[in-house]
Structure formats: structure tokens, C-alpha cells
Amino acid sequence: MMTTENQATPSSEAAAAAPSPGLSSADPATMSAIVQDRYGSADVLRLDTVARPVVGADEVLVEVHAAGVDRGTWHLMTGLPYLIRLVGYGLTAPKQPIPGLDVAGRVIEIGADVTRFAPGDEVFGIANGSFAEFATASQDKLAPKPNNVDFDEAAVSAVSGITALQALTDVGHLRSGQRVLVLGASGGVGTFAVQLAKALGAEVTGVAGTTKQELVRSIGADHVIDYTRSDFADGRHRYDLILDIGGRSAISRLRRALTPEGTLVIVGGEDGNRFTGGAGRQLRAMMLSPFVAQRLTTFVSTEHHSFMERLADHMGSGRVRASIGQRFALADTAEAMRQMEQGRIAGKNAIIVRPPGTAAGS
């Protein structure tokens, strides 16, 4: 599989050539981090110097080498849909002022109850505020980074990769030889879903916009549909499994593209209700499912290391590679998030906090 990289931008070139500007790791008590005091667009993000986080008993402190930009981080940055504010992330402002979930780096400290990692281990997974020089993470949300996978690739993989893996296997029950339709094949979850489905023996059709057709082809899709020109539900093809990741198609339309006993897994989709997001559509699918021969379902990804280890196996073997759109220095994180707001990211954007060769332990 190929790694996709767009044209290098000035910020991505800077990220590759020199330490992220403004890093303050000389002072052991502080660090540089992206901070937000209120919910809003990428404009609420600023680079600041803050106290280093303190590890809890079952947490490790990760020296962040790279972080990934994902849709979940955008939801937590904007506080949208409002439902997420009610479930504990902060009613009027984010409780976690440093954004960022996807992480890859080196363990430099462990909590009293940590058994899975030791200082020096190279890890990837999901952290508490990865847009920073250092971040804490639960030991259950990290896995060893495969030696042959670079930090930047590992850093964009956990959130999207384990969602794609669960959607295809644990939820979608994919079997080798089945026909899979991936709606939203050019995005974070979709680029992993296409490659994982191929690795698991499926015939894969990817759906994406005009500018991202080549990306979807390059990561191994057998067929590619441009949603601005063709209708995946025109009746010409039927699929055993549909992953609905982007586009928010009506359930009736999705069912038309399924085989009579096929499975629909609704992963997500933007532009839903500001209060509940896509939850209404997902609920309707679950309620309809018992009354039809097709299986219509949805899920919330489980952030557990067992899934990250399964993903790492695929990545370590080279069957699955992260598709990095662009690389940004930590100081340019707002621009990386802005690209997400504008739908311009192909695959995932990476934040390079410590370029290769500049890390404390290298």
C-alpha cells in the first residue's frame, strides 16, 4: 500500500526540517502546548506555555513525537453537537483545555499501577491532550509502536484505525470474498477501512469526492465512485457490507445498495443536528433493523489497546499504511484543524512535535 502525501506546504517543510518552534522542554516543569479556553472554530487554538501534566496511577507520561488530527478532536474543540457538552466534556468550555487524541511518542514516566509499559518504550494510541510536548495517557489506550512504522504514521492511526477495524470485523462481521462499500473512503476512518477490508480479503468499492479519487485508488480500492457524479445506490451493484462513514445518506437509500441480507454499519457523518449530531439517524436504523432482513447497526468505538495491537499487526506487516495529508509544526495546529473544517484533508493531518533526530532520547 502507498502512503499518500500532498504537496509539502511551507509549514510542513518547516516541521520536517527543524524542531517545532516554541518548544520549552528545557524547563522540566513546563511545556509548549496548544490551548483553548472556550469552544469554537480553529481560531480558539493558541500556542502557550503550560505546566506539564502529572501522571495518574494507571497512566504514563508520553514525550509526544507526533499527534494526529481527527474528527473527534474537532467535535471536542467546537463543543458540537451540544450533546457532548452534556455527557461530561464541559458545559460552557472544554474541561480538557489541551486538545488532541491521537498520539505517538516515547514513555518517559509511569504511574504506580502501570504494568504494561516502562520508560523508553515507543508507543502509539489515544492520549489526554496530544497537541503538546508531553501528554498523559491511560495504559489501556496505548500499544507498542511497530519498529518499522514511523512516529508520524503511528500518530495518525489509533482513533481512525481502530474505528475502521471494529466497524469491519467486530460490528460488521466481514468475511473474505464479500463486497464492501466504504462511504467516505478518503477520510481518516475511510482510508484505514479500505486497506483493512482489502487485507481481510474483501472486494472494496470506495466513495469519495472528485479531488480524492486517486487517493482512494492508490490505497487499494478495487472500484472508486465519485459521489458528485454517480449514485452508489443506482441499483447496478449491491454490497454485503456498507460502512457509512461520510455523506449522511438516507437509510432507505443505503438499504437499496445492500444485498437482501447485507449489513449496514453507520460509523458517522457530519452536518447533522447541532444538538444530537447523527444520533437520530443511527437510532432510526437500530429501531428498524429487527423488522427487516438486512442488519442495520451502529457503534461507538471502544478505545482499548487490544484493538490498537490488532491494528499494529496490520501496519507492522505493511498491509496497512497511514495516509498522511500534510504535516504541520505544533505552532501551526490551528491551520491543520482549519483544513478539517474545510473538508480539505486527504486521509489525516499530522502534527510533528519532535521531528526525527530532535527528540530528547534520540
Ligand X SMILES: NC(=O)c1ccc[n+]([C@@H]2O[C@H](COP(=O)([O-])OP(=O)(O)OC[C@H]3O[C@@H](n4cnc5c(N)ncnc54)[C@H](OP(=O)(O)O)[C@@H]3O)[C@@H](O)[C@H]2O)c1
Distance in Å, CB of 229 to ligand X, minimum: 11
CB-nearer residue toward ligand X: 6 or 358: 6
CB-nearer residue toward ligand X: 92 or 342: 342
CB-nearer residue toward ligand X: 56 or 272: 272
Distance in Å, CB of 22 to ligand X, minimum: 27
What's the alpha-carbon Rg for the chain, to the nearest Å? 20
- Facing residues of 64 across strands? 105
Strand-strand pairing, 223-226 and 203-208: parallel
Task: Give SS3 for 228.
Answer: coil
Binding residues for ligand X, rule: CB under 6 A, are: 70-72, 160, 163, 183-190, 207-209, 212, 227, 245-247, 267-270, 299-301, 343, 345
Q: How far apart are CA 252 and CA 84, in angstroms?
A: 28
Distance in Å, CB of 70 to ligand X, minimum: 5
Distance in Å, CB of 154 to ligand X, minimum: 17
**Cβ-contact 74, 340 below 8 angstroms:** yes
CB-nearer residue toward ligand X: 125 or 246: 246
Return phi, psi of residue 243, to 5°. -100, 115
Distance in Å, CB of 332 to ligand X, minimum: 19
In the numeric block, the cell 458528485 is attached to 228
- Here the cell at position 77 is 474543540
CB-nearer residue toward ligand X: 318 or 343: 343
In one letter, which amino acid is 276? Answer: T
**Cβ-contact 307, 166 below 8 angstroms:** yes
Distance in Å, CB of 246 to ligand X, minimum: 2
- Here the cell at position 67 is 499527534
Q: What share of the chain is helix, strand, coil (3-state, %, to 5)?
A: 30, 25, 45
CB-nearer residue toward ligand X: 52 or 85: 85
Q: How far apart are CA 121 and CA 287, in angstroms?
A: 45
Distance in Å, CB of 232 to ligand X, minimum: 8
Q: How far apart are CA 151 and CA 85, in angstroms?
A: 32
DSSP structure class, residue 92: S
CB-nearer residue toward ligand X: 259 or 297: 297
